[in-house]
Amino acid sequence: MGFGCQECISTSQAESPPRQEEFPPDETMKITGEIYQVGGGGLSSPEDAAIYLIDFKGHGALVDAGCGHFHDRVMGNIKARGTKPDAIQYLLLTHCHYDHTGGAEDIRKATGCLVVAHEPDASFLEKGDDEVTAARWYGEKMEPLPVDRRLILPREEIPLGDRTLEAVHIPGHSPGSVVYLTESEGRRVLFGQDVHGPLDSSLLSNRDDYLRSLELIISLEADILCEGHYGIYRGKTEIENFVRSFM
């Protein structure tokens, strides 16, 4: 979730996070030669959390889906990067919130990909729970979203071509939040979409879990963090400073 009216419950207590990396305009979407931002951050609907594209030699995955209001633009951004829609094998959802998941069904239809989410967020998506998915905060309705692969373990591997992504359960912001870790061009890249929170009882947030999960995120020693609303952080120290600003 971003920073609407109700959303600063935990983050208002934190210091301002370090400033995100600023790319020159023609490089806005590139994170590595295999990973691009294709939605959120001015690339699609303003409500959208970031949408990231991974393309490992023609084996593709998306991390999160945005609200779905600018579906055509997101698909255009994917194609502009040279990835064919039918090369997208997975939509890796970081958690159930509407600004990350509202566009999931349209993406599945356009690509034929498998939708992946961790329990119990997967169940809230399948039920179309407007409260826990925060759809109500956005004045929207969460249509029931079937999940093709339900993650249940603390850590699970997802193969992509001859490479691997690891899903790591980080409950707190939502009970089924997850980060995805992979390696690209020799760097550990972490997709941690709502590292910043917020925490709210209607979202079934849990502060103790959240603080433990922030420590877990730091322990993953990523070189690049792709966040949902704050942009891209590079370097272990910058990432740790960013994550600790929410403790």
Min dist. Cβ of residue 14 to Zn ion (A): 16
Min dist. Cβ of residue 131 to Zn ion (A): 13
Q: Is 194 in the site for Zn ion (CB under 5 A)?
A: yes
Q: Is 229 in the site for Zn ion (CB under 5 A)?
A: no
Min dist. Cβ of residue 82 to Zn ion (A): 30
Of 5-13, 19-27, 74-82, 191-199, the segment contacting Zn ion by CB under 5 A is 191-199
Rounded to an integer, what distance in angstroms lies between the CA atom of residue 175 and that of residue 148?
A: 19
Q: Is 1 in the site for Zn ion (CB under 5 A)?
A: yes
Q: Is 97 in the site for Zn ion (CB under 5 A)?
A: yes
Min dist. Cβ of residue 186 to Zn ion (A): 30
CA 7 distance to own-chain centroid:
17
State the residue number with the nearest CB to Zn ion. 97
C-beta closer to Zn ion: residue 129 or 194: 194
Site for Zn ion in 119-158 (CB under 5 A): none
C-beta closer to Zn ion: residue 37 or 94: 94
Rounded to an integer, what distance in angstroms lies between the CA atom of residue 243 and that of residue 139?
A: 30
C-beta closer to Zn ion: residue 98 or 233: 98
